[in-house]
Structure 1
Amino acid sequence: MNMISMPRHAAILLASAALPLYGQAAAAQTGGDAVAAADSEVLDTIVVTAMRRAENLEKIPVSITALTGGTIEKLNIETTEGLSQYTPSLHIYAEAVGSEKYTIRGIGRTSEDLSADPGVAIFLNEVYIPRQAAANLAFFDTERVEVLRGPQGSLYGKNATAGAINIITRQPTEQLSGYGEVAYGSFDRITTKGAISGPIVDGKAYARLAFLTDDRDGMYRNLTTGESANDINTRAVRGTLKITPTDRLTLSLIGDWAKSKQDGVLKSIISDVPGLRYVFFTNNPVTGAPRPGVTPPMQEEKLRTARSAINGRQGVETYGGAFNVTYEASGFDVVAITGVRAEKSYGLEDNGRAQEVTSYNETAQDTWSASQELRLVSSEPNEPGSANRFSWTLGVYAFHEEGSRTTDIYRNVAPFSGIATFTQRINTDALAAFAEAKYRILDNVSLTAGVRYTTEEKALDVTGIARRITGIPAGGPVSPFVNADYTASASKRWNRLTPRAVLDVSLGEGAMMYASVSKGFKSGGFQGQPPAPPLRDFSPEDVMNYELGFKGDLLDRRLQFSAAVFYSDYKNLQLQTFDINGAPTTASASARSKGIEFEITALLAKGFTVNAGASFIDPEYKDYIAQQPGFSDPAHTFDRSGERIGGVPRYNLSLRADYRHSLGDAGDLVFSASAVAVDKVVTEFNTLWANEYAKGDVRLSWESLDGGWIVSGWVKNVTNEMYYRGGGPVAKYDTDKIRLGLISDPRTFGVSVRRSF
C-alpha cells in the first residue's frame, strides 16, 4: 500500500495509542507495578454470534469489531453513524433520510434508486434491514454491536460485499430488574430511556420492555424564514418475550417501533475563497450569468446558518418483529428466524439554497419486507484440545420486499424549468441455500469451507408526469422537463455462487493466525430515475477478498490484539453518478481496495483499560469513466482509472481510556475519555467532501456501591473542533472552491441520572 502522510494531530494520536501498550508489555517483562496491580483482574471475554454460533471474539478467524452496550453508552453512540468513529475501516455519513452512505474498506452505498441496494448488510436481531435509514433508530437497550469487515457471502448472503453489521438487543432477565435514565444537555436536549425485565411464569416465560425519547432544539438557523432547523425528535419502544417450554426449546418474540423527525433540513455553504457565491440553479448553466430575480447565496459568517427559501423537513418511521425458535437436538441445534420489517420515510429539501424558491425535491418512501431462515448448527465444541474435529452449519433463506418511492421535483429557472412527479415500485424475491464446515486437520490447524447459492429476481415499475412551467422558457443543451407522461417497467433474475475458505492456526498462549479467501455479491438493479423509458439494468457487484490476520488474547488475558491485511478485487462495482439532467444514477466500474487495520485493548492496572484502533485504506479504480452532473460532453467526462475511490478517508484512528477509582463505601468514580482522528474525504471528482479533523470526548460518572445509582456528566467535542461530516461540490461551477456540508456539532455538555434495580 502507498505510504500515507498524516497531519500532526493524527500522528500524535496514533503514537499516544501505542505508548500505554508498550508500557504494559515492559511491565510484564520486569514485574512492574502495572501487572502487579492487575493480578486480580482480566479483560472481559466477549461472546459474539457473528458466525451464526456463540464464540469467543478472539478465536474467530474474521476481522470483526464488537462493542458492548456499556461501551456504546459510555461513548454516547446514538446512531449507527457514531459507530464509524470507533470502528476501523467503517465510514458512515447520513446526509438525509434515504441517502445514508455506509462503507467498509472503501466500498458501500450506491444511488438513491429504489432498486439499488447497499453494500453493507445490517441485521437487527438476525433479521435483515434492507433500508438503512431504519437502522439508525435501533440503538437503545443494546446488548452489543458486531461489525464484520470484508465480504460475508457464505453465511450472510447478498448485499454484504463490504461487510455486515449485527445489532443485538438485550434479552429478558430471569429476575425482576430494570433501569430508568434521564439526561439533559446543550441545546435543551432531553433524553429519557429505560427498561423493565423479569419473569412472567417462573422458569418458563420472561419479558422485557424498553423505551427511548430524545429531543433537541435545532442547531441551524434559517436567516430567510427565521426558523430553527435540524432538530431531533425521536420516540422508540421495544418489547421482547422469551418462552422456554422445555430445557431444549426456546421461543423469542421481539417487536419494535421507532419514529424520528426533523424540522428543517439545512446545510452550510462552505467557500475556500471569501465572497465566492453558490451558483447552482442561481446562474444560467449555459452562459454562467446571474439569473434575474435570484440572489446567489454565499458562505455565512456563522456556518450553522443558511438562507433557504424552504426550511425543509424529513423523518422516518420503522417497525417490525422477529420470531426466533431454537431447538437443541442431539448433536445439533435447529434455528428458525422469521422477520418482518417496514419503514416509511419522507423528505423535503431546498436544492437552490437561495432566498427565492428556485428548486426543491420532495420524497416519500414506503417499503416492507419479510424473511425466513432455517439453520442446522452442530453443537459439539471444535477447538484445540477437544475430541470433536468437525463442526458445520446448513441453512436455507427466503426474502421478499415490496415498496414504493415517490419524488416530486420543482425547478423554476430555465432551462431547468418544470414540475415532475415520478413513482418507483419495487418487488424483490430471493432464495438461498448455504453450508459451511470446519475441520481440524491438526489439533491446532483448522480449515473452514463454506458456500452459498442465491437466486434473486427484481421487478421495477416507474410512472411519471412532467410539465413545463408557463412563462419560463426552455433552452440550452439540457431540457429534462418535457410535457409528457411516461411509464416503464423491467424485471430480471440473477444467480450467484459465493464461496469462502479459511485456514487458521492456533499459536498457543491465546494467539492465532488465519488466511482467508471469500467472495460476495450485491444485487443488480435498474436505472429508475426519469426521463423514462427505457429502464436500463446494471449487473450485480462481485468481489473477491484475500485476507491475512492475527489475533491474540495475551499476558494472562490483560492484552487483546487483532490485525488484518486485506486485498479486495471488485467487478461491476456499483457507484452513484449523474445523468445529463443531474439525476443520480448507478454506474459500474472495476476496482480494488487494499489496506491494514488493527485494534488493541490493554488492562494497564486495576480498573484502568485502554483501547486503540486504526485503519489505513487505499481503494482505487481499475477502470472507470465518471460523468460530471448536468453534462454529457467529452469536456466533462473524466477517466478515473487508477484514481482513488471517493467518499472514503485514508485513515481512521481512535483511542479510548476508562479508569475506575474506588471511594470505598461511597462507591466508585469512573473516568472515560475518547479521541478520534479522521483523514479528509474527497469526492469522485477530487474535490473536497469533508475536511480532516481530530476531536475528543470526556465523561465522569459516580456509581453507588451496589450499582443502583449512576450520575454522569460529559463534554463532547472538548476542543470545539469545527469540521463538516460530508457534503458535495456544486455542480458545474468552482467545484474545487465551494461546497455544501453538514457542520459538526459544537462543544456540548450534558448530565444524566440513572437508577437501576
Structure 2
Amino acid sequence: MGEIVITAQRKTESLQKAGIAVDVITSAVLVKHDVSNAANISSVVPALNVQAGGGANTIFFLRGVGNFTVNGYSDPAIAFNYDDVYLGRPTSTSGMFYDLERLEVLKGPQGTLYGRNATAGAINVLPARPKLHQESGQLVASLGNFGAVNMQGAVNLPIGNTMALRVAGNYVKHDGYLSDGQSDEDTAAARVQWLYRPSSDFSIRLNADYSKTGGVGPGSSYGGHYALNFQTGKYGFVPSGIDNAVGLLSPEAQAYRQTLFAGLSGRTLNPLDDNVYQKNDFKGISAHVEWTTGAGTLTIIPAARESNLDNRFAVPGFIGLIDEKDKQTSLEARFNGKRIGKLDYILGAYYFNETVSGHYNFSQQALSAYQDLVSKTESYAVFARTTLNLTDRFRAVGGVRYTNDKKTFDGQADVFLVRCLVRNGFGVPSCPLVPLLPVTYGFNELPAPFIIPPENQARPIGATGGLLIRASTPVHAQQKNDKITYRLGVEYDIAPRSLFYASFETGYRSGGFSLSAGHEQYLPEFIDAYTVGSKNRLFGNKLQLNLEGFIWKYRDQQVNHTGLDANGNQGVFTENLGRSTNKGIEIDARYLPATHTLLSASVQYLDATYEDFTFTQPNAGLPPVVGCPYTVDPANPAQFLIDCSGKQTYQSPKWTLNLGAQQTFPMGEHEVVASVDTQYKSERFVGFEYLDSEIVPANWVSNLQISYGDSDRTWSVNAWVRNLEDKRIVTSTQFYASVNAIQNVTTPPRTYGFRFNREF
C-alpha cells in the first residue's frame, strides 16, 4: 500500500505520520470521480457537505458547521486555500479543480500553521507543480450524458537546467440537470506556473490563473408551501406535487407559482423572470519564494486575486441580481527552523486585505430589496508551532496565534414593499389589480404607476388600492476584534507504523455586518476542539486503519441564512446562535486482501446538538413557520422568541458511510480495473427552520467504473456511471416567507459516460 505525502502541517510528511485530522484525495481519485468543482468534493469526503448556492455561491458544511447562504460580506467557517493562498470569497472556488497534485481537507480550527484562521476546518487545493529536467504532460477527455464535456490537459517543459514551465487548462460543460436548463455548467480555466531553482537552497515559483463561468447556473425546484389551520393554530405542509427534476422556470413550476398568495400585497404572484445567467471571471497571481539557510527554510508567499460577478439567478422567493467585485491581497511569511536540540519550530506572519464592492437586487415581486455596499477587511496575524521531541517516539506539540481583524462596512439597503389597503369580507388583503415589482438594476428604474417614496415613507400605487412602502437601512460601522488562539498536543509512535495523537485547540472567527434591519451586526464565534486519534499500518502493510474521536464546543456560533428581518421583510443575514456541541468518531480503513484487490471503508458517527439556540421573528399576527417551540416575547410583544435548543445541528447525519472495492485484472502488458463505491447518509435537517419538509431521509448513492489500459497506467479508457440509483437527493432547502414557498436543491440525477486518460 503506497504512502500519501502531504504538506498540511507546513512540512513534507507521510499522511500516516501526521498527528492531525485530515482527509487527502489524490489526483487519481479526483479524476476518477470527475471532481470539476467544489460541490463534487463531498462525494469523496464523508465529513463534508458541499452544494451550489444561488448564483456563483458555494455552500460548505463540515461536521454540521457551515452556512445556508453566503454573500459578499460574510466569512466562511471553512477556509479555502488555493496553492497556499486563502480565498476570502466562496464564490472564488470556481475553475481550479484540474491538474491537481492532491486535495487536503483538515477538520477543526486552523490558525497556528495557516495564514487565515478558521473554526471548522480548511480545504487545501494543491496544483501539480513544475518539475525540472522533465518533459511531460497529461490529457483527460470525458464525454457523458446531458451533453457533458470535461477536457483538461497539462504540459511540463524544462528551460535549461534551472527553470521549468507548466501550463494547464480545463474546459467543463454540461446541459442543465433540471427541465428548465438550470443546474448546468460552463467553465473554462487556465493556469501557468514558472519555476526558477538556481540551487538546491533557493527557488521562486510564480503562479497565474484565470477562469470564467457562464451558462445559466445553479437551479432548484418547488417543494411546496405551508397552510395555516386557524382552528388548531398550526401549519400543515402542502407538497407542490412537482418533481424535483422540474426547474423553477419550467411551465409547470411557473403555473404553480401563480397559485401562491403574496401576503400583504393582496394578490397571487407573477411568473418568475426567466432571464437568468452567470458571467463571472476569476484571476489571481502569486509567488512562492523559498530560501534554505543553515538555520532553516524561509517561505514568502505574496498574492493578489480578483473576482467579477455578474449573475441573475432564480429561487422561489426572488430573482437575484448580483454585480460584485472582490479584490484581495495577502502576504504570508513562514520560517521552518532547523532543529535546536530537541525542538522543531515554525514561525509565521500573515497579512490580508480585502475589498468587496457590490450592488444587489432581490426582486420578490411583492417586495424588492436593493443593496449597495463596500466592505473592507484588514487582518494581521502572527503564529508559531513548536514540537518538542522528548524521546525518539514521544513528542509534545504547542502552537499559538494572535489575530487582529478590522472590518469596515458602508452600505444601504432600500426595501420596497407592495401593501394592499383593501380587505375582502374575510378580512384578507385583496388587490387583484395592484402591479408587482419587476426586476430592475436600480429602484429609480421602477416604471409607472410606481412613484418612488422618500426613505421610510410610502406612496399610493395609482388607484389599485396598493401602497408602495420604502424602508431604508443604512449601515456605516466598523468592528475591531483580536484574539489569541492556541493548540496543545501530544504524539506517540506506538510502533514503527502506528501513531497515537491527541490535541486541544481553540479557534475564532471574526464578526461582521449585514443590511437586514435588526441584524446589522453579529459577533465573533469561538470554538474549543478536542481530538484523539490513531493511525496504523498492520499485517505487513496490508491494512491501513485510522481512528479519530472529536468533540467541538462552539460559543456564539454564526449561521448565515434567509429569514425575516425586524421589519418583516425577507433578507439574508448572519446570527449568533449560541452554544453547540458536535462530537463523534471517524474510522477509515483500507485493506489489501490480495495483490490486485483493494477494499475501503470509512464511517463517521456524528452527535451534534445546539445546546442554546434562540432567535427572534417579527410578530405580524400569525404564528411563525418554524418547527421549534415559540412564545411572544414578553419584553417586546412585536416579536416571537423561537427556541430551537436541543435540536440536531444542520447538515449533520448521525451516520455517514463510504464503502469501496477495486479489482485489477492483469492482462500481460495491459490491465482491466473495475471499481464500485457507495455512500450512505442517515436522516438530517437541511433547512434553517426545522420544518418537517426540511428533513432528508436516509439514502445511498453508488458509482461504478471500469477501465482498460496499460499496466504502467500511462493511458486508459474508462466507462463510468454515477448515482446508479438515479435519485435526486435534496441537499438544501430554504423557506421563503415572502412567498410562502419551500425550495429544494438536489444532487444531479444518474450520469454516465466515457473518459480517456493519457500521460506522457
Post-superposition offset of 1:465: 4.5
2: CA distance between counterparts of 1:613 and 1:74?
18
Aligned equivalent of 2:381: 432
Letter in 1 for 2:17: K
Aligned equivalent of 2:481: 494
Aligned equivalent of 2:136: 177
For the 8 Å contact 1:629–1:732, the answer to whether it is kept is no
| Secondary structure of 1:545's aligned partner | strand
Aligned equivalent of 1:317: 281
Matching of residues 408-423 of structure 1 within 5 Å: 408-413=361-366, 416=367, 419-423=368-372
2: CA distance between counterparts of 1:742 and 1:335?
42
Aligned equivalent of 1:375: 334
Structure 1 residues 599 and 433: CA distance shift in structure 2, 3 A:
same
| Secondary structure of 2:536's aligned partner | strand
For the 8 Å contact 1:710–1:753, the answer to whether it is kept is yes
Please tell me whether residue 329 in structure 1 is matched to residue 293 in structure 2: yes
2: CA distance between counterparts of 1:679 and 1:481?
47
2: CA distance between counterparts of 1:56 and 1:495?
34
**Where do 5+ consecutive residues of structure 1 fail to align?**
1-42, 223-227, 296-306, 354-358, 383-387
Post-superposition offset of 1:630: 8.7
2: CA distance between counterparts of 1:492 and 1:127?
24
Please tell me whether residue 586 in structure 1 is matched to residue 574 in structure 2: yes
2: CA distance between counterparts of 1:147 and 1:730?
33
1: CA distance between counterparts of 2:468 and 2:409?
22
For the 8 Å contact 1:232–1:261, the answer to whether it is kept is yes
Alignment length, in residue pairs? 670
Post-superposition offset of 1:85: 2.4
Please tell me whether residue 285 in structure 1 is matched to residue 263 in structure 2: yes
Aligned equivalent of 1:362: 321
Post-superposition offset of 1:730: 4.6
Structure 1 residues 159 and 647: CA distance shift in structure 2, 3 A:
farther
Post-superposition offset of 1:389: 2.7
Aligned equivalent of 1:193: 152
Please tell me whether residue 648 in structure 1 is matched to residue 659 in structure 2: no
Structure 1 residues 275 and 700: CA distance shift in structure 2, 3 A:
closer
- Among 447, 450, 466, which residue is 2:399 paired with? 450
Structure 1 residues 184 and 487: CA distance shift in structure 2, 3 A:
same
1: CA distance between counterparts of 2:329 and 2:127?
20
Post-superposition offset of 1:110: 6.4
1: CA distance between counterparts of 2:619 and 2:78?
29
2: CA distance between counterparts of 1:454 and 1:484?
37
Matching of residues 605-684 of structure 1 within 5 Å: 605-627=594-616, 634=631, 637-665=641-669, 667-682=670-685, 683-684=687-688
For the 8 Å contact 1:561–1:600, the answer to whether it is kept is yes
| Secondary structure of 1:70's aligned partner | helix
Post-superposition offset of 1:45: 0.7
Structure 1 residues 129 and 515: CA distance shift in structure 2, 3 A:
same
For the 8 Å contact 2:184–2:218, the answer to whether it is kept is no
For the 8 Å contact 1:594–1:618, the answer to whether it is kept is yes
For the 8 Å contact 1:332–1:377, the answer to whether it is kept is yes
Post-superposition offset of 1:555: 2.1
- Among 195, 198, 212, which residue is 1:242 paired with? 195
Question: How high is the TM-score relative to the length of structure 2?
Answer: 0.83
Matching of residues 568-579 of structure 1 within 5 Å: 568-577=552-561, 578=563, 579=565
Percent of aligned positions that are identical: 24
Structure 1 residues 445 and 121: CA distance shift in structure 2, 3 A:
same
2: CA distance between counterparts of 1:480 and 1:115?
32
For the 8 Å contact 1:524–1:540, the answer to whether it is kept is yes
Structure 1 residues 710 and 281: CA distance shift in structure 2, 3 A:
same
2: CA distance between counterparts of 1:629 and 1:97?
28
| Secondary structure of 1:439's aligned partner | strand
| Secondary structure of 1:263's aligned partner | coil
Letter in 1 for 2:20: V
For the 8 Å contact 2:473–2:515, the answer to whether it is kept is no
Post-superposition offset of 1:67: 0.9
Post-superposition offset of 1:574: 0.6
Structure 1 residues 157 and 622: CA distance shift in structure 2, 3 A:
farther
1: CA distance between counterparts of 2:742 and 2:664?
44
Post-superposition offset of 1:375: 0.9
2: CA distance between counterparts of 1:390 and 1:584?
48
C-alpha RMSD of matched pairs (Å)? 2.8
2: CA distance between counterparts of 1:481 and 1:340?
44
Post-superposition offset of 1:660: 1.9
For the 8 Å contact 1:120–1:159, the answer to whether it is kept is no
1:571-597 Cα offsets, whole Å, 9 max, x none, are 111112421212011111222211111
Please tell me whether residue 559 in structure 1 is matched to residue 543 in structure 2: yes
Please tell me whether residue 702 in structure 1 is matched to residue 708 in structure 2: yes
Aligned equivalent of 2:455: none
1:415-434 Cα offsets, whole Å, 9 max, x none, are x3xx4422121111111111
Post-superposition offset of 1:408: 1.2
For the 8 Å contact 2:70–2:90, the answer to whether it is kept is no
1: CA distance between counterparts of 2:646 and 2:467?
33
Structure 1 residues 83 and 112: CA distance shift in structure 2, 3 A:
closer
| Secondary structure of 2:30's aligned partner | helix
1:224-245 Cα offsets, whole Å, 9 max, x none, are xxxx333211101111111101
Please tell me whether residue 338 in structure 1 is matched to residue 307 in structure 2: no
Structure 1 residues 350 and 183: CA distance shift in structure 2, 3 A:
closer
| Secondary structure of 2:215's aligned partner | strand
2: CA distance between counterparts of 1:264 and 1:332?
47
Question: How high is the TM-score relative to the length of structure 1?
Answer: 0.83
Post-superposition offset of 1:487: 4.0
- Among 338, 347, 360, which residue is 1:407 paired with? 360
Structure 1 residues 408 and 506: CA distance shift in structure 2, 3 A:
same
Aligned equivalent of 2:751: 748
Matching of residues 251-262 of structure 1 within 5 Å: 251-262=204-215
Letter in 1 for 2:202: L
For the 8 Å contact 2:165–2:194, the answer to whether it is kept is yes
2: CA distance between counterparts of 1:490 and 1:53?
40
For the 8 Å contact 2:296–2:337, the answer to whether it is kept is yes
Q: Which has the higher contact order (CA 8 A, sep 6+)?
A: 1
1:602-637 Cα offsets, whole Å, 9 max, x none, are 222112222211212222112221345896984654
